[in-house]
Chain A
Amino acid sequence: MKKYKFQLLSLFGALMLLTSCGNNNGQNTSSGALNSSAAEKVYVAPGEHDEFYAFMSGGYSGNLTVYGLPSGRMFKEIPVFSQFPTSGYGYSEETKPMLETSHGFVPWDDSHHPDISQTNGELDGRWIFINGNNTPRIARISLSTFETEEIIEVPNSAGNHSSSFVTENTEYVVAGTRFSVPIPQRDMPINEYKGNFKGSLSFISVDPEHGHMDIKFQIIMPGFNYDLSHPGRGKSHGWFFFTTYNTEEANSLQEVNSSQNDKDFIAAINWKKIEAYVNNGGGIKVPANYAHNVYDESTHSATSMMKKEVLTVNPLDVPGAVFFLPTPKSPHGCDVDPSGEYIIGNGKLSADLTVHSFDRMLAAIEAKKFDGEAYGIPILKFEDVLAGTVKSGGLGPLHTEFDGKGNAYTTFFISSEVVKWKLGTWEVIDRKPTYYSVGHIMVPGGNSRKPFGKYAVALNKITKDRYLPVGPEMEHSAQIYDISGEKMELLYDFPTHGEPHYAAGIPASILAPKSKKLYRLDENKHPYAVTSPDQARVERKGNEVHIYMSTIRSHFTPDNIEGVKVGDKVYFHITNHEQDFDVPHGFAMIGQNTSELLIMPGQTKSSLWEPKQVGVWPFYCTDFCSALHQEMQGYVRVSPANSDIELSWSLDGD
């Protein structure tokens, strides 16, 4: 044990020395190495808990993973937009509706930017939202069950990328389109993009009590690419800021053709003004077709319904609500500091960061100091809204987070580094390399009024030699930095699942106490639940067979079923009668063309089996539940389609 610890320490020691090589402050490192140990800072002893939760988007996994900080240990993968055979999400009868869209059942997406709900600009830990980028959707995940509760499709959108960020009191979760498209969709030549395609910015209201989402309005903007966004906060609450690129409106070879303009825009949206306009009957209702899928915790079931209408707003109809702030070089991240004063445009093809001032923006609007217009939307003068420029010397700034102590942390993709700089003076305080090609950075609460500025996690795009090689495909690498001191300190590397784009962190003290441990059996309202084993039964409706089954360590009731025939559709509805924390039961049926079920205590889940062959076929529990887990199984007898064997079921002969 001791030896192991020593090895760890020396390893980290070596690592620290290596990293300090890249520093421009050699004199500081010797004392730094003496009074701190990176290994100790990330070590969470067996049985101890981490200080923060970190929710990492899963990127092309379509899901959301939960990690602990500072340890970098992964606790859970929450299925969101992708079928997840581990739990049966998207396979079970109850959760299949979650993945319905206007394109039918879409079992996958590309999840990007998780954001935790806020009250008064501070993390409140009720829900976390995340966007599906490919088939535009926004999901809401409960932070007591850590399960996806709701998914709403976003019509008139494509490449749902400047999403899913919440306003200061979670009035709205906002979704903007990265790829402009014809609105409404229609058959037209692609090269007539310019002037004809549009970009929609959707404001999705969030019910304060239940979190239910509803598209309140969509602003139909010029056909630019709306890349990222963040809400105003504090004094800028009521505004929302979106970066744009491809203001050239190129429709091909955008790698070159979207980078011609020296400046693109940050779109500043006064959503409170538009909300008032809409509340007074403004806007145009247009036909649409989009899915709204809601999971009900008491019935353990989701329903999907198609919505047929959406309210659109032409920005020209609401004067004074939308402005463009010129911002150099195809800005990517759009970040607002905790005070709400500074709006940072991370010009990804630039070396510098552009920081706009909210106060100066208001003054320029007041004075009507416009520098032209784009499709009728006023463009403010760059010099009039600029607060300052951070001359970092890095290349390819992408994203910025804040520590709540007046500092900002910006990632530089091309030069692979995190740069710490000071708000207001714009001076660079520190820079540390990342390994390699960092995308987002996350400070818990780093995009709220109250960041918890102890750690920063860099989410790297390229892994290369950081871990043992595992063939051409590797997990992406995250790096955690201690940012509590003047200089950042790289503490640890850990692999992440899929491709985490953004992440959201929150103190464990906010979430852990309210994390649900089980579902109460006496609150189970699932229509196929059995709340006591004497209700267990099998019913036939034509060729549908419904098996109402209960389970507890370590048997199924019933476990012998006869009278099922080839060609039947057999539904297993299984209720877990355990009422103890962490005693799920699994269920799997031989030859079933779907996944297993993993059923939490007090929960009911259903699985479809369509037997194709005569015989006696076993099912079993897949989750090692007790010393008698191996005995937890049963049989279904399948007779020929024309058999007259009656339906019967039993457990131990009863």
Chain B
Amino acid sequence: MNNIIKASFLLALGLLISCGGKEEKQKEKIQIGQKTNVETKKETPVSNEVPASKRITLENKGVGKITSLTLDATIDNAMVERGAALFKTNCTACHKTTKRFIGPNPTGILERRSPEWIMNMILDPKLMTEEDQCAKDLLVEFNGAAMANQNLTEQQARDILEYFRTLK
């Protein structure tokens, strides 16, 4: 049963891709898989709660070794540069700054999450998804795709945070 859903989802995904592809004549076949696709596309949570990705939890510092962090008023460009490079290598497999992907889009994240929460999530995603409610809910919202621990140092995570400040 499960396999059928997965198979049809993949089929739909495959067809979607060919939409943007080079072979126009396949368009008609898309119709077959369209029905199952409608359901998967919406991603409306079962409850009427605000989804975790949209929730604003600025008071929550998360769980982990970062308990307090004050950001300078001005953005440090050297840190941003390093952070952007680190983000590209370590994070872009799952996070895009233009859209929701495997994980959430980090654009505007500082309007939703505290700096401490962001740092803790980068540094120990396993602990966070076990003990922090928001991280737990995000895991569910994002299809159970657990965030990878990329073994970054505190300074590297801080650079990425600085880069996030520029994403608005």
Q: Is the CB of B148 within 8 A of A583?
A: yes
The CA of A554 and the CA of B6, in the complex, are separated in Å by: 15
Which residue of B90, B101, B146, B149 contacts A577 across the interface (Cβ within 8 Å)?
A: B90
- A628 close to B151 (CB less than 8 A): no
Across the interface, which residues of A come within 8 angstroms of B101, CB to CB?
652
- Shortest Cβ distance from B160 into chain A, in angstroms? 13
Residue A414 at the chain B interface, CB threshold 8 Å: no
Q: Are B93 and A557 in contact (CB under 8 A)?
A: yes
A residues near B16, Cβ cutoff 8 Å:
653
User: B145, A653: Cβ atoms under 8 Å?
Assistant: no
The answer to whether B19 and A580 touch across the interface, beta carbons within 8 angstroms, is no
**A262 an interface residue at 8 Å Cβ cutoff?**
no
Name the A residues within 8 Å of B90 (CB-CB): 521, 577, 579
Indicate with 1 or 0, residue by residue over A642-654, a CB within 8 angstroms of chain B CB atoms.
0001101010110
B6 near A648 (CB under 8 angstroms)?
no
Whether the pair B146, A627 counts as a contact (CB closer than 8 A) is yes
A552 to B102 CA separation, bound complex (whole angstroms): 10
B94 in the interface, Cβ–Cβ < 8 Å? yes
B117-151 interface bits toward A, Cβ cutoff 8 Å, 1 = contact, 0 = none: 00000000000000000000000000111101111
B20 contact set on A, CB distance < 8 A: 650, 653
Q: Pick from A38-46, A171-179, A529-537, A586-594 the stretch touching chain B.
A: A529-537
Contacting A580 at CB < 8 Å: which of B17, B21, B92, B151?
A: B151
What is the bound-complex CA distance between A534 and B98, given in angstroms? 14
Does B93 lie within 8 Å of A550, measured CB to CB? yes
Which B residues are CB-close (under 8 A) to A550? 93
Name B93's contact: one of A522, A533, A635, A650 (CB within 8 Å).
Answer: A533
Is the Cβ of B14 less than 8 Å from the Cβ of A560? yes
Q: In whole angstroms, what is the CA distance A560 to B92 when docked?
A: 18
A553 touches B (CB below 8 Å): yes
Residues A580 and B144 in contact, CB atoms below 8 Å apart: no
A552 to B93, CA, bound (A): 7
**Complexed CA–CA distance, A579 and B152 (Å):** 8
**How many Å lie between the Cα of A653 and that of B102 in the bound state?**
14
CA A456 – CA B2 in complex, angstroms?
A: 53
| A578 interface residue (CB < 8 Å to B) | yes
Q: How far is the CA of A555 from the CA of B21 in the complex (A)?
A: 20
A554 to B101, CA, bound (A): 12
Nearest B-chain residue to A550, judged by Cβ: B93
Chain A positions 217 through 244: 1 when the CB is less than 8 Å from some CB of chain B, otherwise 0: 0000000000000000000000000000
Chain A residues closer than 8 Å to B69, beta-carbon distance:
none
Alpha-carbon distance A581/B148, docked complex (angstroms): 10
Let me know if B54 is at the binding interface, CB within 8 A.
no
| Inter-subunit contact A580/B149 (CB<8 Å) | yes
Roughly how many angstroms separate A492 CA and B102 CA in the complex, as a whole number?
Answer: 49
Q: Which of A500-538 contact B (CB under 8 A)?
A: 518, 521-522, 531-534
The 8 Å CB contact of B22, one of A521, A648, A653, is: A648
Q: Is A562 an interface residue (CB 8 A)?
A: yes
A630 is an interface residue with CB less than 8 A from chain B: yes
A580 neighbours in B (Cβ, 8 Å): 148-151
Residue B13 CB within 8 A of the other chain:
yes
For window 1-33 of chain B, which residues contact chain A by CB distance below 8 Å? Answer: 6, 10, 13-14, 16-17, 19-22
Bound complex: CA A581 to CA B151 (Å) = 9
Q: Given A550-B93, A552-B94, are A627 and B148 neighbors across the interface (CB < 8 Å)?
A: no
**Contacting pair B17 A650 (CB below 8 A):** yes
Between-chain CB contacts (< 8 Å), 30 pairs: A531-B89, A532-B88, A532-B89, A533-B92, A534-B88, A534-B92, A550-B93, A552-B93, A552-B94, A552-B148, A557-B93, A560-B17, A562-B21, A578-B150, A579-B90, A579-B151, A581-B151, A626-B145, A627-B144, A627-B146, A628-B143, A628-B145, A631-B10, A633-B10, A635-B14, A648-B21, A650-B21, A653-B16, A653-B19, A653-B20
What are the 4 A-B residue pairs with the smallest beta carbon separation, nearest first?
A552-B93, A579-B150, A580-B149, A627-B144
Give me the interface of A with B, judged by CB distance under 8 Å: 518, 521-522, 531-534, 550-555, 557, 560, 562, 577-581, 583, 626-628, 630-631, 633, 635, 645-646, 648, 650, 652-653
Q: List chain B positions with a Cβ less than 8 A from chain A.
A: 6, 10, 13-14, 16-17, 19-22, 88-90, 92-94, 101-102, 143-146, 148-152
